[in-house]
Structure 1
Amino acid sequence: MAQTLRPRLISASLTPRGVTLLSGPGSRMISTHKPKKKIKEYYSLLNLREGCSVDDVRESFHKLAKVYHPDSGSNDANSATFIKIEEAYRNVLSHVIKQTQARQKAEDTEEEDKFKYNTPQHRHYLSFEGVGFGTPSQREKQYRQFRADRATEQVMEYQRQKLERELFANSITVKDVRQSKELKITQAMERLVEDLIQESMAKGDFDNLSGKGKPLKKFSGCSYIDPMTHNLNRILIDNGYQPEWILMQKEIKDTIEQLREALLVSRKKLGNPLTPGGQKQWNQVCEKFQENIRKLNKRISDFNLIVPILTRQKVHFDAQKEVIRVQKMYEAFIEAKEITEENPTDISKEEEKTPRVKTGFLNWLNLWKFIKI
């Protein structure tokens, strides 16, 4: 039976659907197309439900083929039933594929509709930060105007914040009574000075000044120097004005000389050798000297911040080294004094050679050679 059905199955697979081959020498193809069964019957024949996948259809067909195929060796093998199952398999498989394609197409259409009007249709619409509409040139003009407006708003916001900070700072300053009084006094002094100048000019007190009505001397120096700045500096120098850093430099120099001299005088008063009481007094003098050196070093730090020339900056003084230097000066003074007391004749001969030089002047030169400013 299997040998009889196999040629028929092969010929059926090669014959178009709805066409049947008649047996016999004069066989010809006759259309035997019948209306399709309802798709639900095909699903029930394959033991499936609508909405299943392609894999489910194939798996169900393979299970039924093992049972009803004529060559399966099963007790339920039946060629007619297998033909029905095969027909149901083809229709269900085609139906499932069409549903899957329709579902995929619907999803693609929905996704396309979702972004169709939200996403820019041209590449140039992705620029200009999404500002403007129309052609690219129109969008560029609108974007420039947008940037200008945004910059203006930022400037206005910065000015507003600056004014708020100034008002807040002024409100704090006004609360301080002392600062407000100083401000009023300064303004009053400025008004008073201005009134006095105007009054003197009205009286003619400035008419007798030398060079009145004459132009300032033209500056014929370096072309890279501003003539106005040069003339102003010359006027200040002629009237005895000195920059602040020069005054501070002179102040530092005078202060260290005074401190050294005061320390040397204190050491002389205590005598040699030092007694326990004298040692205690000397320690107190050294502590006070160290405190003064600390203040002087702070002044030097301020000087280094305003001096315009780097090579003019000063280093801090070391109080311990200064004390040792004064000790050496005192020892040199004692040695010179002992030499003077032991050899008075040599000193008299030296005085005869240099009659106009005071006694002990050379010794003082030897003493002060240790001082370095």
Structure 2
Amino acid sequence: MLIAKRSCADTCSRSARMFLGYRAMSRSLRDCYRLLNVQEGCNAEEVKEAYLKLVKLHHPDTGSGADPVKFMQVKEAYKAVVKHLAEKRAADSETEDDEEDQLKHMAPQHRQYLSFEGIGIGTPSQREKQYRKFRMNRATEQVLDYRKQKLQHEELENTMMVKDVQQSKKIKITQAVERLVEDLIQESMAKGEFDNLSGKGKPLQKFSQYPYIDPMTHNLNRILIENGYQPQWIVQQKEIKQTKEKLQNDMVAYRKKLGESLTLHSQKQWNLKCEQFRDEIKQLNKTVDHFNLIVPLLNRQMLHYNPDKELAIVLKKYEVCLEASKATSEVVVKSAEGSDTSIHAKNSLFSWLKLFLK
């Protein structure tokens, strides 16, 4: 029993001496973090959790895993790390306080740059003058915009009013004419002027072109057509055809401009124009794709235009125009020659008469 107590006392005294030697040893914070198995940027809760885990592992009372030296090292490292974290928090709080004080100190100096919407440079009085001028110009522009919008609105209202008046007059005239015609028809029927008609007593064929169409549908279509309404796909179909014809005519005119015989320079220009024409035909084919998506009938869908075929058509048109121009020039030359011969004949006849009279 005495021997066990003495050995325990020796162990404690040895560990105490080693602990004092360890405290005398200057260990860096990096070693302390490494000893606790934590990162340097961790918080206090992570440090405490790692410390408790190591204390339970190396405490002298744990039995077989006891290591008094390691236990004292962990304890000292924990104190150093906690002290370092406290100092760091204090430094951060002081830095935040300094920044707030600096902002509070700077705020009155820069408040003027916030009061004038950031307009102007120079001293506060100069910036105030510039800001007043800016506000005056802005107010003037706003007043002019308001007046412009008001005038546009009034012009639009007047235009709509004129159209409404014209439409109402047209409707009134149409109704008056229809009423007059109806009165004349009723008067003629009362007199018996329609009794000798061959189709008397038979139903009228109001729509001879479309005998099986519903009268309401026919009237609705007639009203839409008279008011200029056209479905989108019809309008787009016309635009596609007009665009194609315009491209062809432009190419023919450009070919006429280059002349009949092409030089190297004009041939290069014609090739560039042909490439541009092919690109425009490709863009036109995209419009054809959109048209095919909205057209309601399959037999109304259009095929893509082939750029090479369209160029061939352009060249044929150019040849036709060239032949027509040549024929016109020949006619002009022949007429000019005929006039010259007639003049020569007249001159010769006049000369013979002069000789005869002599």
Same topology, TM > 0.5: no
Tell me which structure has the larger Cα radius of gyration. Answer: 1
Q: Which has the higher contact order (CA 8 A, sep 6+)?
A: 2
Q: TM-score, normalised to structure 2's length? A: 0.34
